[in-house]
A and B are shown apart, each in its own frame.
Chain A
Amino acid sequence: MIYYVARRLAVAVPTLLILIIVSYVLMYAAPGGPFDTERTLPPEVMANLQHKYGLDQPLFVQIWRYVVSIVTEFDFGPSFQYTDQTVNDVIRQGFPVTLTYGAWAFLVAVVTGVSLGIAAALRHNSLLDYLSVGVSVGAQVLPNFVLAPVLTLVFTLWLAWLPGGGWQGGHWPYVILPVIALSTSFMASIARMTRSSMLEALNADFIRTARAKGLPMRRIVFRHALKPTMLPVVSYLGPTFVGMITGSVVIDVFFATGGIGQFFVNSALNRDYPVIMGITILAGALTIAFNLMVDLLYAWLDPRIRY
Chain B
Amino acid sequence: MSPLLFGRRAIRSMSGASDPSDGRSLWQDARGRFLGNRAAMASLVTLLVLVLFVLFGDSLAAWSNEEIDWAMLGNVAEEGGPSFANGHYFGVDELGRDLFARTVQGAGISLMVGVLGALVSMVVGTLYGAVAGYLGGAVDNVMMRIVDVLMAIPYMFVLIVFMVVFGRSILMLFVGIGLISWLDMARIARGQTLSIKNRDFVEAAVAIGVRPGRIILRHIIPNLLGVVVVYATLLVPSMIIYESFISFLGLGVQEPATSLGALISDGASQMQYGTLWQLLFPLFFFVTTLFAFFFVGDGLRDALDPRDR
B286 touches A146 (CB 8 A): yes
For A263-295 the 0/1 string (1 means CB < 8 A from B) is 011001101000011011001100110010000
The chain B residue sitting closest to A271, CB to CB, is B164
For B99-141 the 0/1 string (1 means CB < 8 A from A) is 0000000000000000000000000000000000000000000
Tell me the bound Cα distance from A137 to B251 in angstroms: 29
Which of A141, A253, A287 is the one whose CB lies under 8 Å from B154? A287
Interface segment, A56-64, A94-102, A147-155, A296-304?
A147-155
B157: CB under 8 A from chain A?
yes
Which of A19, A146, A253, A291 is the one whose CB lies under 8 Å from B287? A146
A242: CB under 8 A from chain B?
yes
A133: CB under 8 A from chain B?
no
A11 touches B157 (CB 8 A): no
The chain B residue sitting closest to A143, CB to CB, is B241
User: Which residues of chain B are within 8 angstroms of A268 by Cβ–Cβ distance?
Assistant: 160-161, 163-164, 251
Count of chain B residues with a beta carbon within 8 Å of a chain A beta carbon: 39
A221 to chain B, nearest CB (A): 24
A254 touches B268 (CB 8 A): yes
B220: CB under 8 A from chain A?
no
Contacts between the two chains (Cβ within 8 Å), count? 111
A30: CB under 8 A from chain B?
yes
Which of B145, B158, B291 is the one whose CB lies under 8 Å from A280? B158
A49: CB under 8 A from chain B?
no
Counting contact residues on chain A (CB < 8 A from B), the size range is: 35 or more
User: Which residues of chain B are within 8 angstroms of A157 by Cβ–Cβ distance?
Assistant: 271-272
B279-298 contacts to A, CB under 8 A, are 279, 283, 286-287, 290-291, 294
B75-118 contacts to A, CB under 8 A, are none
A46-84 contacts to B, CB under 8 A, are none
Tell me the bound Cα distance from A26 to B154 in angstroms: 16
Residue of B157, B264, B290 with most chain A CB atoms under a 10 A cut-off: B157
B154 touches A283 (CB 8 A): yes
B290 touches A140 (CB 8 A): yes
A190: CB under 8 A from chain B?
no
User: Which residues of chain B are within 8 angstroms of A305 by Cβ–Cβ distance?
Assistant: none
B153: CB under 8 A from chain A?
yes
A141 touches B287 (CB 8 A): yes
B276 touches A276 (CB 8 A): no
The chain B residue sitting closest to A144, CB to CB, is B245
Known: A140-B294, A268-B251. 13 other contacts (CB 8 A): A23-B158, A27-B165, A30-B166, A137-B294, A146-B264, A146-B287, A157-B272, A245-B154, A246-B245, A253-B248, A264-B157, A264-B160, A291-B152
The 8 closest A-B pairs by CB, nearest first: A149-B268, A141-B290, A246-B156, A30-B165, A280-B157, A145-B248, A283-B154, A15-B149
